[in-house]
Amino acid sequence: MEQKSYWESLGLQYKQKSALIPWAGPITNKYIRYGQKDALQGIKNRLQGKSILEIGCGTAYWFDYWREWGAKDVWGIDISRPTLKLAGTEKVVQASARYLPFRSDIFDMVITITTLQHLPSKDELGSSMKEISRILKGNGGQAILLEQSSSHLISLFAPLLTISKAEWENLFPQYGFDLVASCPVDPSASLFAIDLLAQRVTKLIWGENPDDEPRQMLSPRSKLVRLYYFVKEALCLPSFLSLKIAKKFYPKLATHWLYILERKDSPGDEKGGPD
């Protein structure tokens, strides 16, 4: 109940469909999202014609990507009712990752993006992995996990499970999964800066898509709006730079990995992990 209350209170901070991390600055948020999108490019060809469940879908921010990349049916669950109200689709259910309200062998693919890392214990992570295995179609069902893979507690703002990459990889076979591929989520800061600059120039020139109150109140070409965004992003630079500096001197810090798993059922074996 405590976890549910925390995520529901967090969900009340959202006003529109978003994958925003409320405790991070704007530039840090954009860098994290840029890195996630870059890593997820590697799964695009796996989504074609698939039925997908996203665990921890929040406001369903990623649903448009899954559909654009060829998914035929997209569902989501999240523990926070306030965020689900912003999803704009009826194919979302309020539920915990530990108890998925779907019948067995129903989905082609399950996706989690920084969701399982927030479970309160490794036992509950095991329960979630068992549920993921249960609802996936046998002999080929896939799980895509983008999760923190560090054995060091780093978050002062959200519940965070400390689990290393080696522990993740040891966990997968226990629940009937083969690790097909994995890659670190650590995008180039230089490429991110170029991408960010290109977006900002485009928005300033064309005045596209008002995204908050100052843009709604003032002309997109207004010098005051430009000054506002310059100051706003300059003030959040310390959080972005501190993340990069910390990772340079301590590479294990805040490391995320993308894992591509395939469910395999051996004849005579019961899936579901250890008792």
Whether 54 is in a domain gets the answer yes
- Residue-wise pLDDT for 41-62, tens only, equals 989 999 999 999 999 998 899 9
Note whether 194 and 178 are same-domain residues.
Answer: no
Asked whether residue 273 is assigned to any structural domain, the reply reads no
Inside any domain, residue 129: yes
Give the pLDDT band (50/70/90) at residue 17: low
Same domain, 207 and 227: yes
Indicate whether 121 and 214 sit together in one domain. Answer: no
Q: Which long-range contacts (CB under 8 A, 24 or more apart) does 263-270 make?
A: 263/133, 263/136, 263/137, 263/138, 263/139, 263/140, 263/141, 263/142, 263/143, 263/176, 263/177, 263/178, 264/139, 264/176, 264/177, 264/178, 265/138, 265/139, 265/176, 269/176
Mark whether 68 and 176 lie in a shared domain: yes
Residue 272 lies in a domain: no
Is residue 109 included in any domain, yes or no? yes
172 and 214 co-located in one domain: no
Q: Do 84 and 203 fall within a single domain?
A: no
Contact 261, 143 (CB under 8 A): yes
Number of domains in the chain: 2
Question: pLDDT tens digit string along 158-186?
Answer: 677 888 899 999 999 999 999 999 988 87
pTM for this structure?
0.75
Give the range of the structural domain holding residue 59, as residue numbers without chain letter. 2-24+32-186+250-263
Residues 40 and 170 in one domain: yes
Residues 142, 180: Cα–Cα separation, whole Å: 9
User: What pLDDT band is residue 259 in, cutting at 50, 70 and 90?
Assistant: very high
Does residue 174 lie within any of the structural domains? yes
Considering the domain architecture, whether residues 164 and 215 belong to the same structural domain is answered as no
- We report the CATH number of the domain holding residue 102 as 3.40.50.150
Asked if residue 203 has pLDDT above 90, the reply is no
Range in 116-125, 154-163, 174-183, 201-210 with the lowest mean pLDDT: 201-210
Structural domain contains residue 230: yes
